[in-house]
Amino acid sequence: MIGLYAITVEYREKPLGLDVHNPRFSWKLKSDLNNTEQESYSIKVMKETEIVWETGIMKSSETNLIEYDGKPLEPETRYDVIIVSTDNYGNTASGNTCFETGIFGKFSHGWITHKFLADEEACPVFTRKFSLNESVSKARLYITALGVYDAFINGTRVSDTYLAPGWTSYNKRLQYQTYDVTDMIRVQNEISVTLANGWYKGNLAFRGKKNVFGDRLALLMELHVTYEDGSTETIGSDNDFMCCSGSVRYSEIYHGETQDLTYIPDDIHKADKYEHPVDMIVYTENEPVRIIERIDAVSLIETPDGDKVIDFGQNLAGFVEFECNLQKGTKVTIRHAEVLDAKGNFYTENLRTAKCTDTFICRGKKEILRPRFTFHGFRYISVEGIEEIDISKFRACVLHSDMKKTGDFKCSDELINKLQKNIQWGQKGNFIDIPTDCPQRDERLGWTGDAQVFCGTAAYNFNTALFFSKWLKDVAADQGKNGSVPNVVPDVFAEEGKNPGNSAAWGDAATIIPWEMFRRYGDKTFLENQYLSMKSWVEYIAREAGNTFLWTTGKHFGDWLALDMEQYFTNRKFSVNTATGSTDMNYIASAFFARSAEILYKTAEILDNRNDAAKYKKLYENIVNAFREEYVTAGGRLVCETQTGMLLALKFGLIEEKHRKALAERLVRNIKKHNNQMVTGFVGVSYLCPVLSENGYHDIAGKLLMQKEYPSWLYPVTKGATTIWERWNGIKPDGSFENPEMNSFNHYAYGAIGDWIYKYILGIRALEPGYTDILIKPEPIEGIKYAEGHYDSIHGRIYVKWAMEGGEISIDTINPVNCKARIVIPGGSNEITVGSGEYSFSEKLKEGIY
């Protein structure tokens, strides 16, 4: 039998407020028969009883992102979708879903604001009472803000989302949200919306900037009510709203929140109209930020300094909620930290200027308290104001974008299993609406380089299609007029009249991430939507390079946090900035220039833009030739034979084929010279193991993964890490810390090794975009006897389990409907091609297989 499931509209299940004129439908199929394929499908879209689009029977195996091509969709309208699929065995399955359009960004009301002074810290609360007819059949709230908001109707929170409307390049793109509030509506009603600074006007970045996007909080909302007789009524943001300060007396992303639950407002006034554009308002594309899970406290610690500290056992991003019944006016203060120092004391130096402190003044009754507009990166909290602490009353609320988990991995080595969990926790802690570098200190910015390095691993762990689609639009929005790409997006460092940063490997996020997302999801709109951005970036570098075809201008981060320069200058008496590594910056820049040009011409080919394809292919060839002339000797040696220098030349095809083998050998000698350890930084780390495996040195890649001495992936695990660290030695062997100015214990970039773990150890690789053609090729390494895991592709789950025992290796696989897999058994001579279904294979181990 065949089953149809996981129907989505633009990657969502039953989306509400969808402002897409031609949405795309996807579904997955399951079957108890092997070699199942879809023979045909039909889609019917209906508005009530009216058919607005019907495909008829389409002879096709396509199940992914089929675009609506019917009557123009109307705003605020529900559409029902019926899909029927028939397989190659004659079995038929059907499924249905629905979606509802939004208002396509068209608000009829305007902005309102408060009368507070711009520098007042208390959060404004906007309220309005109103009456409605009893016969309400539908009510939708459309809302956005300059700042972040928390909305209630009749005392009920309208949504479980946090930090809405999310973080975008606000003056260019501002999201609005749609909520179904039908069940909250009464005859007599009150709506209440509290605003906070958030990212819009609060403290941002390590330079103490405020008011980056604006200096005034404001609200824009409309409640659209439909009655049973079809008539409608709208309650919108206008002068009928009252405003006052509320119980949230202070709130900042970095510094935390102060709530006075005893506060009685005495500053009530009418809301003011506020002149602000609405033409940049867009619907919400990313999954909302939610409390995804709650973690119980593990232990209560009294530190040598006398602090009462609760340990949650896991470094995470979010906040703490606690149950209390304390005397009115009791002040409870909660401070946050990632680690304890070597003496066991609460350690906050690495937070820099971020206070990361929440304060609550209790109202004198039983209540559950939590922040509303901030988040912290922490494992430990210090609690003041409660004499007898019952840790069962405290929970850590894990906050991140609500991405669906799509991948997992485990094996016979528990340290590697812990590394996998740490990688996923690092992603969760830093995927809070945008891909941040860290969630704890006075930074938490969308560094483009970090996202570029990690995007492949990220897409294995979670479905990141919507997450990156939204963020990439902000990359394009913040791109300079000359094509340069900011180092952080949204660009909080932007200055009027100046072009944004343009570091190689950071700016290349504009090309590499769309390409990776296309490869992962088979979705050409990643390339279509970002094409002008990709093209502008490459053209910018091309102008900088001129006729030399080498990028030798600008300021770059180099191979950020590489250890090769640090080791080179050990015990020297002079000071040098070692953070950028010893790989020549111009070399790195020119290498990435070639890579982005290659991606661009291949993108142009896919989009059938023949003129651009020919133009940028020629540019790519010119860059490669110039690179070889400048940086490669006639004998194939590089002028920059650092680990990263060699990795880039091998990975990006910058060295002639006849020299590859010798260069790979020199790379291995370099690694062995460093005691089988890496000295790469952010730029080289994601390429290290893949390049070794691709060039016949998979065993060396395995030794790097299994290495436990600093620097290595497992060293932090042996030191108790529960996330990925910013620096390999954030905690040194003696328990002391690295420089607190740059020592985050939740930084995902080095977790990029996860991509290689999925592809090589587990053995799941895509041969075609979207995993319609899969390579199942596990490649064991010394120290691992079995591995098991899966990746939920757009077609369904790809599962692999392999084990070595008794001189044999066995492989079990499950492949999705509509997909074929080429299975290569380690050491086997033949490639086995299979269709969908479950398969098991075993072979005797050959010499050289661990």
Q: What is the pLDDT of residues 214-246, one digit of tens each?
A: 999 999 999 999 999 999 999 999 999 999 999
- The gap from C-alpha 201 to its chain's centroid, in whole angstroms, comes to 23
Q: Helix, strand or coil for residue 589?
A: helix
* 247 and 324 together in one domain: no
Q: In angstroms, what CA-CA distances link 751 with 609, 725, 779, 800?
A: 36, 9, 20, 22
Q: Indicate whether 157 pLDDT > 90.
A: yes
Domain-located, residue 541: no
266 CB neighbour count, 10 Å cutoff: 7
What does the alpha-carbon distance between residue 414 and residue 337 come to, in Å, rounded to a whole number?
26
* 222 and 371 together in one domain: no
Q: Provide the pLDDT for residue 572.
A: 39
Kindly report the length of the chain: 850
Q: Indicate whether 571 pLDDT > 90.
A: no
Can you say whether the dihedral through the CA atoms of 258, 261, 263, 264 is positive or negative? positive
Q: At what angle do helices 465-478 and 509-521 cross, to 10 degrees?
A: 160
* Pick from 810, 693, 798, 807: nearest CA to 756: 693
Domain-located, residue 684: no
Q: Indicate whether 712 pLDDT > 50.
A: yes
pLDDT mean over 570-592: 75
* Pick from 472, 648, 619, 487: nearest CA to 556: 487
Q: Provide the pLDDT for residue 566.
A: 56
pLDDT mean over 263-271: 93
Domain boundary among 251, 283, 315: 283
Q: Indicate whether 208 pLDDT > 90.
A: no
pLDDT band at 267 (very low <50, low <70, confident <90, very high): confident
Helices vs strands, H then E, count in the chain: 15, 45
Q: Provide the pLDDT for residue 497.
A: 61
What does the alpha-carbon distance between residue 97 and residue 110 come to, in Å, rounded to a whole number?
34
What does the alpha-carbon distance between residue 144 and residue 174 come to, in Å, rounded to a whole number?
8
* 168 and 213 together in one domain: yes
pLDDT mean over 139-157: 98
pLDDT band at 575 (very low <50, low <70, confident <90, very high): very low
Q: Provide the pLDDT for residue 68.
A: 98
* 813 and 835 together in one domain: yes
Q: Provide the pLDDT for residue 379.
A: 98
Domain-located, residue 198: yes
Contact indicator for 111, 274 with CB cutoff of 8 Å: yes
Domain-located, residue 307: yes
pLDDT band at 500 (very low <50, low <70, confident <90, very high): confident
What does the alpha-carbon distance between residue 743 and residue 726 come to, in Å, rounded to a whole number?
6
Q: Indicate whether 315 pLDDT > 80.
A: yes
Mean pLDDT of the chain: 95
Token output for 421: 């969990």
pLDDT band at 499 (very low <50, low <70, confident <90, very high): low
Domain-located, residue 581: no
Q: Provide the pLDDT for residue 450.
A: 97
Q: Provide the pLDDT for residue 849.
A: 67
* 241 and 119 together in one domain: yes
Q: Indicate whether 248 pLDDT > 50.
A: yes
Q: Indicate whether 567 pLDDT > 80.
A: no
What does the alpha-carbon distance between residue 134 and residue 325 come to, in Å, rounded to a whole number?
38
DSSP letter assigned to residue 794: T
- For residue 393, give the CATH number of its domain: 2.60.120.260
Contact indicator for 511, 534 with CB cutoff of 8 Å: yes
* 139 and 80 together in one domain: no
* 329 and 296 together in one domain: yes
Q: Indicate whether 828 pLDDT > 80.
A: no
Q: Which residues are catalytic?
A: 443, 726
Q: Provide the pLDDT for residue 570.
A: 46
Domain-located, residue 371: yes
* 325 and 382 together in one domain: yes
pLDDT mean over 365-377: 97
**161: Cβ–Cβ under 8 A, 6 or more apart, which residues?**
177, 288, 289, 290
Token output for 338: 């990632």
Contact indicator for 781, 702 with CB cutoff of 8 Å: yes
Domain-located, residue 296: yes
Token output for 348: 């906050």
What does the alpha-carbon distance between residue 247 and residue 76 come to, in Å, rounded to a whole number?
35
* 74 and 143 together in one domain: no
Domain boundary among 252, 283, 314: 283
Q: Is 561 left (phi over 0), alpha (psi -120 to 50) or beta?
A: left
* 159 and 272 together in one domain: yes
Q: Provide the pLDDT for residue 541.
A: 98
What does the alpha-carbon distance between residue 92 and residue 714 come to, in Å, rounded to a whole number?
49
- For residue 805, give the CATH number of its domain: 2.60.420.10
Q: Across the strands, what pairs with 9?
A: 12, 25
* 142 and 84 together in one domain: no
Q: Indicate whether 402 pLDDT > 60.
A: yes
b/e burial code for range 795-834 (CB count within 10 A of at least 16 → b)? bbebbbbbbbeeeebbbebbbbbbbbbebbbbebeeeeeb
Domain boundary among 74, 101, 128: 101
Q: Using a cut of 0.95, tell me whether the model's pTM lies above it.
A: yes
Domain-located, residue 412: no
Domain range holding 156?
A: 111-283
Contact indicator for 493, 459 with CB cutoff of 8 Å: no
* 265 and 314 together in one domain: no
The pairing of beta strand 796-805 with beta strand 308-324: unpaired
Domain count, the chain: 4
